[in-house]
Structure 1
């Protein structure tokens, strides 16, 4: 299963999940190891999703700690939903074996509102904020306080065939017209992206809403809005789904299926995360030579798109026996040097802007300028402790996109999202 919260699976010859990590994931529920209570050096348990080369970062931070503590990497399950369930259950039980937590950007507010996270204050906060892009930083805040430090982020791009299209479309209307023209000439024409009933569809809709200047919730995150921009986004999504340019499986497609469909040669355009670039180079080098990238298409030709970010934030559990060491460990794990290492070796885009200018980034991220431009003008998903409930009702109401009735669908989503906000549930 892909992980839409974090931006899909990063894959290449060097970006693969190690078999050992899979085995560790199965053991993760039993890994509530002691945190140095026996009088030895403190153990700092890092609960984080599978990332092939993260252990090397952990080893480096342990070396820098000089024996004052030791970080242990406890690998969470692959699927985001399973990660969240495990973390929620153990935090609700006030498990003192939880120290540093790798949280999806949509969970930080939920966990902070439950009282499970320690606030980043003073110099800790200053260090976490220093040079960090505004969009990722916003996902780490709750009620104007910082509860996590952004470790990595992600945005989707428009991928297009240069042998079919000389210039990338700037808007969804242009993209649809380009695709219809190719179809009329009997050439590959499909626009391939994610339309299944899951978080990926919510991400697509959220990007369209932000690009249309709309709102799903008010700025305080307390009221469901679904204004004119949100209705316009529904119109765009409906028109796209019914234009005759998607795959027949559009309403069931998730990230990796979209990648495979495009690699098969059926598409002229793909809207997906950057993991498709190294994957395509490995799977079909000849096709890869014909593929370029551009900013995600906008709704209005005079307004650049605002693309929804993914990523992971590092938080410190309120129940940790060693909070000081945990903050220090989290700061080390996401410092500029380690963000660059993880970007190059594990394909996770940095949250610290200066890292993009590092010379080593050029080969691993030839699309880095486009990624950075989107990140500096990005959209976040609705920032609310009730986001998981909101996402569930949105994905159900949006699916299938071909059946959307913009005004009526907006009314339904507004009512359902308000109910989700008022329930304020935090348990799985």
Structure 2
């Protein structure tokens, strides 16, 4: 039914309905999105406004940088039926929840095909729920293992090799920390999910209704504890998020960093000398000889269910997710594009995205977070039960299994 409603709205918009008060001027759309540090999102909003031929302008309402804070603000406004919620930047894990709650409008099938033409199937899947597209991929994401080439001549392939290399560097009195997310928030859940997947398991079954967390989860917890008990652990690990890891690496205290590619343009700007020494490889696996499975991330754009300008919002989303904006997001902000052919576009690679092939490989092997409308509750239980990293243990997995089973009954709609 929702797709039919949006289809009707789009048809009316195409017939010239202004939605702004009888042709008094361009519709003002509001895009709710986090404060992307390079300014690429703000430039996309300005360029799409200018290119709309007076149909709309896009204002940016800045959300917190952490996904938990973003979701909280969005949910509260949507629950209040805020009509300013035109374009919503959704973390890839929120699609099911926002669709089930009726907060995002599904796109009609024909328009969905047009909007996602040429995009990575895995990215499109993150914006899809029950075979309907609710959110158009803005960017995808996957972590790599970034390392100092001047300290690490041969990058590690496994978690154990990484800790061994860090221990050797510590003994030599050189920078040796492994920077990775350890604060009690979504990023720590992502770490656990990547480790479980890289050990050959998953947190929930395929249809998201039952808890798994078998032997691979035990290996994942052991890996967290091994890092916590190693000289490789940053003393601030239990408080660190992605940007804390970036900063520590840029200032020279670390040899390794498990993080997203936004760290590369940042290092080029803030520490060009160190940037010349940055190497990259796949996320370390827990099973020698098998690929790792870092967790797919990214953001998708949805039309708010209470927006008065849904047709214009859908058109603006088509522009914001267009090729030129994806290239700028990637080069300036490090955000991996969702258009598949860019990963073999030599001009794009030479223009500032030299790790494109590594990101593409990571995306091909990527794992997904548990797909359930109750995801937020599941994530909170994981981050809470296994925090701080120094206290993570296989003994806590029984508690975690029960907590996740309870979370699956909550439907995840409480902010």
- The TM-score normalised by the length of structure 2 is 0.88
**CA offsets 1:22-80 (integer angstroms, 9 cap, x no match):** xxxxxxxxxxxx95135434333322222323233223323443233333333334443
2:46 pairs with 59, 82, 98, which one? Answer: 59
Confirm whether residue 254 of structure 1 aligns to residue 238 of structure 2: no
Return the alpha-carbon distance in structure 1 between the equivalents of residues 95 and 157 of structure 2: 33
Aligned twin of 1:391: 379
Whether 1:37 aligns to 2:12 is: no
Q: Structure 1 residues 425, 37: closer, same or farther in 2, change over 3 A?
A: farther
- 1:208 positional shift: 0.6
**Alignment-derived partner of residue 367 in structure 2:** 379
Once the two structures are overlaid, the 10-residue window that deviates more, 187-196 or 219-228, is 187-196
**Counterpart in the other structure of 1:145:** 132
Q: Where in structure 2 are the equivalents of 1:124-135 lying within 5 Å?
A: 124-135=111-122
Distance 1:282 1:227 in 2: 44
For residues 308-341 of structure 1, the C-alpha deviation after alignment (integer angstroms, 9 at most, x for no partner) is 1221110012222232222222112102222112
Q: How far off its partner does 1:415 sit?
A: 0.7
Deviation at 1:153, TM superposition (A): 1.8
SS at the partner of 1:109?
helix
Q: Deviations over 1:139-172 (max 9, x none)?
A: 2122222111110122221122222222100000
Partner of 1:24: none
Change in CA separation of 1:290 and 1:88 when aligned onto 2, cut-off 3 Å: same
Q: Match of 1:6?
A: none
| CA shift for structure 1 position 360 | 3.5
Instruction: Map 1:25-424 onto structure 2 (within 5 A).
Output: 36-37=20-21, 39-40=23-24, 41-51=26-36, 52-358=39-345, 359-406=347-394, 408-424=395-411
Q: Measure the CA separation in 1 of the matches of 2:58 and 2:237.
A: 43
Change (3 A) 1:61 1:249: closer
Q: Distance in 2 between matches of 1:35 and 1:91?
A: 20
Question: Which shows bigger deviation, 164-173 or 185-194?
Answer: 185-194
Q: Deviations over 1:217-276 (max 9, x none)?
A: 111112222122222211222222213321222222222222233334332222222222
**Contact 2:91–2:298 at 8 Å: present in 1 too?**
yes
CA distance in 2 between partners of 1:42 and 1:253 (Å): 41
More divergent stretch after superposition (306-315 vs 95-104):
95-104
| Worse-matched range after superposition: 144-153 or 86-95 | 86-95
Tell me the distance in 2 between the aligned counterparts of 1:94 and 1:411.
Answer: 39
Match of 1:15 in 2: none
CA distance in 2, matches of 1:192, 1:44: 39
Q: Alpha-carbon deviation of 1:386?
A: 1.4
Q: CA deviation at 1:299?
A: 0.9
SS at match of 1:204: helix
1:134 Cα shift? 2.7
Secondary structure, aligned partner of 2:409 = helix
* TM-score of the aligned structures, taking structure 1 as reference length: 0.86
- 1:182 to partner: Cα distance: 2.7
- Following the alignment from structure 1 to structure 2, what is the Cα–Cα distance between the partners of residues 415 and 291? 42
Assess if the C-alpha contact under 8 Å between 1:134 and 1:376 holds in 2. Answer: no
When residues 68 and 290 of structure 1 are mapped into structure 2, their CA distance, relative to the original with a 3 A threshold, is closer
Aligned length: 394
**Alpha-carbon separation, structure 1, partners of 2:120 and 2:269:** 31
Structure 2, unaligned runs of 5 or more = 1-17
The whole-number CA distance in structure 1 between the counterparts of 2:62 and 2:34 is: 6
Q: Secondary structure at the match of 2:146?
A: strand
Residues 417, 257 of structure 1: alpha-carbon distance in 2 compared, 3 angstrom cutoff: same
How far residue 205 of structure 1 moved from its aligned partner, in angstroms, is: 0.8
**C-alpha separation in 2, matches of 1:301 and 1:409:** 26
CA 198–425 in structure 1, closer or farther in 2 if over 3 Å, else same? closer
Write out the 4+ residue segments of structure 1 that deviate beyond 6 Å after TM superposition: none
Alignment partner of 2:306: what SS? coil
- Point out the more displaced range, 62-71 or 111-120: 62-71
Q: Which runs of 5+ in 1 are unaligned?
A: 1-33
Cα distance in 2 between the residues matched to 1:269 and 1:89 = 38
